[in-house]
Structure 1
Amino acid sequence: MEVTPGLTLREMAKRAQAEFSSKIVAAELDGEVHDLQNDSKGVREVTFIPLNSKTGWQVYRRSVLFLLITAVHELYPEAEVVTQFTANKGLFCEIRQLTGHWRDMGQVEQIEQKMREIVAENRPIRKEVLSREAAVKLFEQSKQFEKAELIGNLQRSKVSLYRCGDFYDYLYGPMLYGTGDLGRFALDFEPPGVLLRLPDEGTDGKIRERVPQPKLSQILYESKSWAKILHCNYVMDLNRANREGNIGEVIRVSEALQEKRIAQIADYITQHREGARLVLIAGPSSSGKTSFAQRLRIQLRVNGMEPVSISLDDYFLSRKDTPRNERGEYDFECLEALDTELFNRDMVDLLAGREVKLPRYNFLTGMREWPQVPPLKVTPDQPIIIEGIHGLNEKLSEAVPRAQKYKIYISALTQLNIDSHNRVPTTDARLLRRLVRDYQTRGAHALKTLKQWPDVRAGEEKNIFPYQEEADVMFNSALIYEIGVLKKYAEPLLETISPVVPEYAEARRLLDFFAYFDDITAEDEIPNNSLLREFIGKSVFFK
């Protein structure tokens, strides 16, 4: 709708509310998302954002996190909330005290009670625009030094902060204007902190049920330990290493940590070769599965083994037999798009020592072919490496006994936080990888990638994430320095997206996100077998 002169956004939202089935929580002004406290002066067009939308729930989750931080501040002024990662279907937040770790169930109950009291009070969440210098001073006084340093290095003169009671914070995105609507949450005791569970666009407004994910939690804790080894817990730590000429060391240690982990996985497979005849590698989009599979193959060869690699893509059904989704488009991501009967028969024969003639899928014709090459035969000392999104799903390889399979889950689980209250979403890191790779290797522009991303994510939620705890081992492919490298590739691509398309708001959000990262230009320091090379180019594994 057109902006009405003389009315605030909040007043306009009240007039428009009757047209929406859920509460209006934010607005898109000329293609950029803002809270309802934003000034509409000079804005031509506004699109209101209801709660029951992806962006609406992002606003809600950010606001409830602010509610948690405010409650902890009022109850325990010396404690520090540090947002860590998403696991067990919630956001894990560590709560650090000067006296040690947080281990008291009663204290968590007090925090939840305080949060609900603040909700009942319906306190305003006020946005205040301060000069950059004033914001830095405010956060230095409250001992949020990493936040003060980050803001001090931003290339802007004004900063928008939010205040609830006497507590100020900077949460890098719009929030609701009052606490009265923030009652939908659950808070669990999760030493050394809490697990905050919330609704999202996939739950129809219901709070996520807690689902234990011990393996995922373990690898996420490992990723945080890597950040400590690198002395890069926050973006400003990374920027400082870059400015002081130490980024080469950060790159080398990051790569060495991954190489050591891959070698450990290879050692386990070598020592348990009878239980790892079929090595299945799965993970979400842009997690670096192909490079990981190649590096694992090399480490297995170092151990004296002779692994063979088989592409799951070659088991696609012919295009005419491929299932279609609800929009009538070919659904290449569902398990039913694969000839699982043939795959199982081939794997059973190979593991029994029989010769197998493998198919090859022609992506140009959409047909399966049988190339004129010798049949494959493997020995008991030759593990078969299979890489594909369905690797963890037992239905893919159900004819092979579980005792002969070793399943690996790989994902880019970002170790870095922007500051103590703002994490770098793993999904954003993978999206940036895909943006760059799609353009580098397929000539696809950023708009196409952004349009496809919701379908990619929906496929992951259906085909990958439900099976991740089935893995025997997990591998984190994130490199702590990678966003600073991806920035120079992704920024120009995002800048090409026009304000007239719906994806413009997402492009602007990612561009704003890049503002916190310095450019890392020391690309010569990145080895040619790095997982990052799969996305930025010059990988030894991709010709």
Structure 2
Amino acid sequence: MRRLKEILLKILDTNEELRVPAGEKLLEYAKRYWKYHDTPIVAARLDNTIVELTRPLERGGTVEFIDLRCLDGLRIYQRGVLFVLNMALKERYPNCELWVLHSLDNALYCELRCGGIPHPFSEEEIQWIKARMNQIVAHDLIFEKGEYYKDEAFKIFIQHNDRDRIKLFRFRKKKTIKLYKCGDHYDYYYGYMPPSTGVLKWFDLVKENEGFLLVLPDQKDPLTVSRPKPLVKLSSVFYEYARWLDVIGVRTVADLNEIISRGEREVAELMIINEALHEKKISQIAEQFANSGARLILIAGPSSSGKTTFAKRLLVQLRVHGFKPLVISLDDYFVDRELTPRDEEGNYDFESLEAIDLKLFNEHLSMLIEGREVELPKFDFKLGRRIWSGQKIKLERNQPIVIEGIHGLNEKLTSSVDRSMKFKIYVSALTQLNLDPHNRITTTDTRLLRRIIRDYKFRGHSATDTLKMWPSVRKGEEKHIFPFQEEADVMFNSAIVYEWAVLKIFAEQLLVQVSPEEREYTEALRLMKLLDYFLPITNLEDIPRTSILREFIGRSAFKY
């Protein structure tokens, strides 16, 4: 095929069309359009595919420049800052390894492990690292991308004492590996990088536990770096799970792949261990409730966190402790349709707290806790209004009320009940498994894959449908759930160490159906590339019927 001498680009910032030579890079054109952006441009979207500004163009299309007000832009910025951080650390601690473990609001919790043991930082060391990073940023060094055959890349990894990467790529089918070089430093990052270090001006470092927080810009205010508010409970759950992964020897995808490659017996054992951990935690939560003196259990968490299965397993454990829990559905306390608040686009906002008849709900809670009889309502979704079921209930002494819903941790939901009578539980899939020390798997991605599969299997939605809805779902979580997570009395981590190897079987065939013509193709492609690192677990029979994973892949022992 004859190579095109010119390609046509349509720039969305101005809708102008440019004819440029094939092989041209977008970097120089990006500088021309920076005036239309209030934050640095770090990459571009060519039609529905992300391209780096330093990549030679082989085809034309519509160009949308990506800055820090875009989630993809923040991801790219984050990788660049992590690269610079590792450059600084390698200068001072050449025999130690940076581990990026989890996020806390707009920060990443990191540890520097020397011989597998976290290095305790002094304030002086933190300031030195930060100053060195600023020097690297000021030098505006280029991120160079190179493609290497595996044996060449492995030699580079060995020279840099980076054997975790060799383990990761040993199971990948591709013959080549793409590495980034900046100065004399080589590194691998899953995803795209900014053009140079010069755009990476906004970050901070703060001592935290056995490591430190790398504080990054927020999407709402990208040019301001604010230290996150303390998230003590959430941080402790992440920390505990990370140490548990260390104990069982599954810190990275490479470790998981090693187990899968050894056969079904070891995979089954890993499943049993993970499910035993969940059962132990749920039993402990039931015991904590039993000792709390509370009468009301409130369960909340973001989408696809496994709240429903958790709640059903908790009910079993409560019965083991001698309780007869009563489950009340918040959906039955919706206000009539015409009274439902609307969002900015004029659609009914069923996630708003005001979509619930708080007055009636609190009256019923107070009456039940006082030992009085209550007739429970039923919401008719076809009619869009409440009807009365005739079902009357009265609590017994050993009968706690269990309520699951997004507003469970918000005190306004149950304002009539004294705080001492409430036991609040936050549930989320707080994933701690890393691709490798520098590349983490986000909790959001785990939940998104779960939801894509569940929406298809049980709601008839395509992956495109779910990806279209996801930003709105995330917006609701940011507003109604995350601000209240530290209000929880206890947190339950529903992450399953082996689940990505199972989700891969279901998700890949759904994601591949997302059309390149759809804007969601960018996200589908990113998730497919991420799934490509995992060996699949094909024998699903060993997954217990009570597992939280069954809520998403099917054949659960519980009815939903």
Q: Which residue of 2 aligns with 1:297?
A: 315
Compare 40-49 and 308-317 and name the one that shifted more: 40-49
Alignment match of 1:193 (pick from 211, 236, 252): 211
The within-5 A match list for 1:66-215 is 66-87=83-104, 89-98=106-115, 101-215=119-233
SS at the partner of 2:308? helix
The within-5 A match list for 1:475-486 is 475-486=492-503
Identify if the C-alpha distance between structure 1 residues 270 and 100 changes in structure 2 by more than 3 Å, giving closer, same or farther: closer
The within-5 A match list for 1:8-87 is 8-87=25-104
Match for 1:441: what amino acid? Answer: F
Counterpart Cα distance in 2 of 1:181 and 1:17:
12
Counterpart Cα distance in 2 of 1:493 and 1:197:
35
Counterpart Cα distance in 1 of 2:187 and 2:386:
57
SS at the partner of 2:425? strand
Counterpart Cα distance in 2 of 1:36 and 1:87:
30
C-alpha deviations, 1:118-173, integer Å up to 9, x for none? Answer: 11222222212212221122112322112112123222222221112211111111
Identify if the C-alpha distance between structure 1 residues 453 and 35 changes in structure 2 by more than 3 Å, giving closer, same or farther: same
Q: Which residue of 2 aligns with 1:396?
A: 413
TM-score by length of 2: 0.93
Counterpart Cα distance in 1 of 2:36 and 2:105:
36
Query: CA offset at residue 58 of structure 1?
Result: 1.5
> If each structure's strand is expressed as a fraction of its own residues, which one has the higher value?
2
SS at the partner of 2:373? coil
Determine if contact 2:145/2:179 at 8 Å carries over to the other structure: yes
Identify if the C-alpha distance between structure 1 residues 475 and 107 changes in structure 2 by more than 3 Å, giving closer, same or farther: same
Match for 2:187: what amino acid? Answer: D
Counterpart Cα distance in 2 of 1:269 and 1:321:
36
- Note the residue ranges of structure 1 that are not aligned, 5 or more in a row: none
The within-5 A match list for 1:132-531 is 132-245=150-263, 246-272=266-292, 274=293, 276-373=294-391, 375-531=392-548
Determine if contact 1:68/1:115 at 8 Å carries over to the other structure: yes
Query: CA offset at residue 45 of structure 1?
Result: 4.5
Query: CA offset at residue 271 of structure 1?
Result: 2.4
Match for 1:254: what amino acid? Answer: N
Query: CA offset at residue 284 of structure 1?
Result: 0.4
Work out the percentage of aligned pairs sharing the same amino acid.
47
Counterpart Cα distance in 2 of 1:381 and 1:526:
33
Compare 1-10 and 206-215 and name the one that shifted more: 1-10
Match for 2:244: what amino acid? Answer: W
Query: CA offset at residue 240 of structure 1?
Result: 1.0
Determine if contact 2:39/2:223 at 8 Å carries over to the other structure: no
Counterpart Cα distance in 2 of 1:154 and 1:10:
31
Query: CA offset at residue 303 of structure 1?
Result: 1.1
Determine if contact 1:28/1:34 at 8 Å carries over to the other structure: yes
Determine if contact 1:92/1:196 at 8 Å carries over to the other structure: yes
Counterpart Cα distance in 1 of 2:60 and 2:474:
32
Determine if contact 1:277/1:380 at 8 Å carries over to the other structure: no
C-alpha deviations, 1:334-374, integer Å up to 9, x for none? Answer: 1111111111101000000011111112223322121233x
Counterpart Cα distance in 1 of 2:201 and 2:29:
25
C-alpha deviations, 1:402-447, integer Å up to 9, x for none? Answer: 0100000010000200000010000000000000111111101111
Query: CA offset at residue 18 of structure 1?
Result: 4.3
Determine if contact 1:67/1:179 at 8 Å carries over to the other structure: yes
TM-score by length of 1: 0.96
Determine if contact 1:52/1:205 at 8 Å carries over to the other structure: no
Match for 2:21: what amino acid? Answer: P
Determine if contact 1:89/1:211 at 8 Å carries over to the other structure: no
C-alpha deviations, 1:89-130, integer Å up to 9, x for none? Answer: 410001112486323221111111111111122222221221
Counterpart Cα distance in 2 of 1:93 and 1:169:
17
- Asked if 1:4 corresponds to 2:24, the answer is no
Compare 499-508 and 203-212 and name the one that shifted more: 203-212
Match for 2:109: what amino acid? Answer: F
Query: CA offset at residue 30 of structure 1?
Result: 4.3
Identify if the C-alpha distance between structure 1 residues 535 and 240 changes in structure 2 by more than 3 Å, giving closer, same or farther: same
SS at the partner of 2:478? helix
Match for 1:487: what amino acid? Answer: K
